[in-house]
């Protein structure tokens, strides 16, 4: 190949390389422009979506505000009707009272008179509403009394002010001063309860009053137990009672089991009735462990209210009396220990020991003191 041909071939190769480089550069520029256009389109789409979301959020907020406002208006229709009356009453009465105060006190400080006549009764009236809504079960009679007192003061002073011109002026000014408070108390200050709730509340109040009277009567009937250290506590006789003018009277309820009696008078009457029945048949019942004069409780037997068995069991007409042999204090201590282990007795209560062991009132106290001190005397 000649020099000329070689040179021409080199130029052709260089031209081809330049064309390839230009084509590659053009493709790069095209790809860049396409990427930029795609990014621009994505940005525009994102802005449109953000605008749509913001618009939807504003619409949702406006709808929520409207719903809340409609709900509030529906719940406070009475307030919207009553408070304008209260505002009119205050606007009419307060300036008149301010001028009257300046005239009466001969000082500009008399302009504060509406703070007593108008603001005083309104303070109590609003306090009644707040207290009843926060604590529906709490009594507000003190606040209601404040409304009545300050309302009477406002009416009296406004009536006196109007009376200086004519009696009809006094009536108008006095009525206008308290009209708002009267409407407010009649509509908004009442407890928000239905008819059924008010009936149940009346029943609960009646039940509470009766329980209080019964507890008072029970306190009058209770006996005192004085401990060795001089402390005292009241003992009550559990059971079912009715309240009469003379106090509590034992009662039975049809359909309910008869409660265990701790009424000593009634038990004594039952014992005497049983004794009379046994004597009529020729059998003399005995109290368990009857003691002879001079016998001590420590070594002898303990009297209980249990009766002995019928000696004439063959006769069906004779009463059946359960007779148990007399028990000594050692036997009672053993029975008490077994009851304590079984968990059926309160060893610190003489009444619980008496019921469990079925003995008279003396030994249970001794057993309780022994258990409390941790040893026997």
- State the pLDDT confidence band at 181, using cuts at 50, 70 and 90: very high
Residue 118 clears pLDDT 80, i.e. is over it: yes
- What does the pLDDT read at residue 17? 85
Top pLDDT among 71 and 21 is at 71
User: What does the CA dihedral 17, 19, 24, 28 come to, rounded to 10 degrees?
Assistant: 140
> pTM of the full predicted structure?
0.44
Residue 309 clears pLDDT 60, i.e. is over it: no
Residue 236 clears pLDDT 80, i.e. is over it: yes
Residue 286 clears pLDDT 80, i.e. is over it: no
What digits encode the pLDDT tens for the residues 25-39? Answer: 888 888 888 888 889
3-class state of residue 337 by DSSP: helix
- Residue length of the chain: 377
What digits encode the pLDDT tens for the residues 147-160? Answer: 999 999 999 999 99
Q: Match 């409780």 to its residue by tokens.
A: 297
HSE of 175, CA atoms in CB hemisphere, 13 A: 6
- What does the pLDDT read at residue 10? 80
DSSP-derived letter for residue 307 is -
- State the pLDDT confidence band at 290, using cuts at 50, 70 and 90: very low
Residue 117's CB is within 10 A of a number of other CB atoms, namely 27
Report the distance separating Cα 41 and Cα 39, nearest Å.
5
Residue 228 clears pLDDT 60, i.e. is over it: yes
HSE of 3, CA atoms in CB hemisphere, 13 A: 0
- State the pLDDT confidence band at 303, using cuts at 50, 70 and 90: very low
Cα 174 to Cα 95, 100, 113, 149, 181: the distances in Å are 14, 13, 15, 14, 12
Residue 213 clears pLDDT 80, i.e. is over it: yes
Residue 134's CB is within 10 A of a number of other CB atoms, namely 8
- State the pLDDT confidence band at 140, using cuts at 50, 70 and 90: confident
Tokens of 138: 């709490």
- What does the pLDDT read at residue 350? 82
């Amino acid at each position: 190949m000649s020099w000329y041909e070689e040179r021409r071939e080199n130029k052709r190769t260089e031209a081809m390389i330049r064309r390839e480089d230009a084509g590659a550069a053009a493709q790069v520029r095209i790809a860049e422009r396409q990427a930029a256009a795609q990014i621009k389109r994505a940005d525009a789409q994102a802005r449109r979506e953000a605008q749509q979301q913001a618009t939807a959020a504003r619409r949702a907020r406006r709808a929520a505000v409207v719903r809340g406002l409609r709900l509030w208006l529906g719940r406070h229709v009475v307030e919207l009707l009553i408070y304008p009356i209260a505002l009119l009453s205050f606007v009419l009465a307060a300036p008149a009272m301010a001028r009257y105060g300046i005239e009466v006190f001969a000082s500009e400080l008399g302009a504060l008179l509406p703070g007593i006549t108008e603001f005083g009764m309104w303070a109590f009236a609003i306090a009644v509403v707040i207290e009843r809504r926060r604590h529906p079960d709490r009594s507000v009679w003190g606040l209601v009394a404040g409304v009545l007192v300050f309302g009477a003061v406002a009416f009296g002073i406004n009536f006196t002010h109007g009376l200086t011109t004519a009696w009809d002026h006094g009536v108008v000014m006095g009525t206008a001063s308290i009209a708002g408070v009267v409407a407010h108390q009649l509509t908004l200050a009442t407890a928000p309860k239905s008819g059924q709730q008010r009936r149940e509340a009346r029943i609960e109040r009646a039940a509470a009053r009766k329980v209080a009277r019964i507890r008072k009567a029970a306190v009058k009937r209770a006996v005192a137990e004085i401990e060795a250290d001089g402390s005292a506590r009241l003992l009550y006789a559990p059971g079912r009672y009715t309240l009469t003018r003379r106090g509590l009277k034992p009662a039975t309820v049809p359909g309910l089991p008869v409660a265990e009696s701790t009424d000593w008078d009634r038990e004594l009457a039952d014992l005497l009735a049983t004794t009379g029945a046994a004597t009529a048949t020729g059998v003399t019942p005995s109290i368990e462990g009857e003691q002879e004069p001079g016998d001590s409780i420590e070594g002898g037997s303990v009297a209980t209210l249990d009766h002995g068995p019928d000696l004439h069991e063959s006769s069906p007409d004779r009463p059946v009396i359960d007779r148990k042999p007399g028990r000594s204090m050692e036997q009672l201590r053993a029975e008490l220990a077994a009851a304590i282990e079984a968990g059926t007795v309160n060893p610190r209560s003489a009444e619980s020991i008496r019921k469990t062991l079925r003995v008279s009132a003396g030994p249970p106290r001794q057993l309780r003191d022994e258990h409390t001190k941790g040893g026997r005397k």
